[in-house]
Amino acid sequence: MLKKVLIANRGEIAMRILRGCSDLGIESVAVYSNADRLSTYVRKAAEAHHIGPPPVSESYLRGDKLIDIALNCGADGIHPGYGLLAENADFAQAAIDAGLTWIGPPPEAIAMMGDKTIARDAMTQAGVPVVPGSPKGLSDEELQAIAPEIGYPLLVKAAAGGGGKGMRAVHAPEELAAALRMARNEAKAAFGDNQVYLERLLIGARHVEVQILADAHGNVIHLGERECSIQRRHQKLIEESPSPAVNSVLRERMGAVAIAAARAANYVSAGTVEFLLDQNGSFYFLEMNTRLQVEHPVTEMVTGVDIVKEMLRIAAGRRMSHKQKDIQLKGWAIECRILAEDAFNNFIPSIGQITGLSLPTGGGVRVDSGVYYNMEVSPYYDSLLAKLVTHGGTRAESILRMRRALDEFTLTGVKTTIPFHIKMMNHARFQAGQLDTNFLDNHFSMDDDPSLKYAKVAAAAAALVAHRHSKEAILLHQGGPSPWRLYGRREALDRRLK
């Protein structure tokens, strides 16, 4: 096995990988920017090294620094987590060339699946069903000419990258020129590549993905599916396993296709094959994520497979611990992404200091988190604070457990998506499993519940109370009036008001 692994990431995923390493007796090495110097993962790692100032371009994206640190501290492997450099084929190859073990798929697989049009071509040749679309490398004029053949509505998508960046929905021909311009600009800014392609937009489709594991000995298995249809701006908010729309027969069909996709890419390690599932039960290849997914905990909860530990075993050249016949889905798991975003204000990011924190506990509750009391939520990084996961014998039980866990989850100082998740768990269509990727646009609003309109009033009142208490503390520190005198004044004022 590996002896020492550098974690080329931060936040909750760094903590998750650290725990996986610890469970296998592997020392973990953390890296941190100025903004992350007090983070939990930094304090829990066997050793930690400063990597630069807060901007990721000067710290976590400096692959040369990461490799130098790994070599100098005696690490024999690098785990990239997700995001940042996780799907950077050049970084993976540089780590391998430096003599380090890359805990992820081969650089060639990363490169193949990182270019969405090359991936589509490879999947078509492998017999994997693909959403109709265009090749990359076409000019705007050529794309406008081919669009009617693909059919409206359609999506303009960046050929490189993912995560919803460089993506625009187009419902009519007159919208296409502007969508192409905006998608190219966004793709260039996000990925350094402005190439885009067109893909038919499937209305009412679900986003369903299949987790796969593959080792270097030719073994490939799938771990069932995850439902990821609750999204805003193409970013997932809630995931669950299994999917309410997938039965055992469809699961095996999708699993077999996902395995075929992995074999076509000569894949090794953990990966996810994403599909669009239409209302008729037909499914189409969307893309393959060549990394550990944010939502991997729900699969772990229902299968009992520790995906991070399997990645470490596979990277060390060992066979997987499981065969396909061993994989049985037990119960139901749901994950809510707790983001530092204002759900009442179009999910705009929220920054500030965490002034109060209490995490939920109890049976069937898991919290993957990197947050801590007094932590500064900065504008430099992704807004993900924690992943709240519940597991129950049935979907209904998992939802009820999630409602309880959300009620117990206290995080103050910044706005979070907890109110959104509470409302979603109480939504009749969600409870019935009637989901699609346009759920939030067509069936949900944070403003349609009158009781939620008082949330801002309550927050303002809480802020006033906190302000009054802080003023009283200053007076006491400066030798001001006693708390008894202040209490008497408030009582007198209350009587006058009555």
- pLDDT tens digits for range 317-328: 999 999 999 999
Spacing of C-alpha 183 from chain mean position: 22
Q: How large is the C-alpha radius of gyration of the chain? A: 24
461: pLDDT strictly greater than 60: no
Average pLDDT score over residue span 409-417: 97
pTM recorded for the entire structure: 0.84
Average pLDDT over residues 21-25: 96
Let me know if 116 is exposed, middle or buried by CB neighbors in 10 A (0-12, 13-18, 19+). Answer: buried
Q: Report pLDDT for 467.
A: 54
CA distance 277 to 62: 38
Per cent of the chain over pLDDT 70 is 89
Which pairing describes strands 27-33 and 47-52: parallel, antiparallel, or unpaired? parallel
Among 13-27, 357-371, 446-460, which stretch is predicted with the lowest mean pLDDT?
446-460
Q: Residue 258 and residue 224: Cα distance in Å, rounded?
A: 10
* Cα within 13 Å of Cα(122), Cβ side: 23
* DSSP state letter for 450: G
Tell me the CATH number for domain 132-200.
3.30.1490.20
| pLDDT exceeds cutoff 70 at 277 | yes
**Vertex 338, ends 334 and 341: CA angle to 5°?**
140
478 pLDDT more than 60: no
Mean pLDDT of all residues in 217-228: 98
Beta pairing partners, 79:
7
Tell me: pLDDT of 476 over 90: no
- Class of the CATH-defined domain 4-103: alpha beta
DSSP letter assigned to residue 73: T
Return the percentage of the chain with pLDDT > 90, whole number: 78
CATH for 206-450, options being 3.30.413.10, 3.40.50.1400, 3.10.450.230, 3.30.470.20? 3.30.470.20
Q: What is the pLDDT of residue 485?
A: 60
| pLDDT of the residue at 10 | 97
Amino acid at 371: V
Catalytic residue among 200, 206, 226, 291: 291
**Annotation says 403 is catalytic:** no
**Would you give the distance in Å from CA 460 to the centre of its chain?**
31
What pLDDT was estimated at residue 450? 47
Highest mean pLDDT among 96-100, 229-233, 465-469, 480-484: 96-100
pLDDT at 486: 56
Structure tokens at 12: 């909750």
Residue 193: pLDDT over 90:
no
> What is the DSSP secondary structure assignment for residue 173, as one 8-state letter?
G
Confidence of residue 494 (pLDDT cuts 50, 70, 90): low
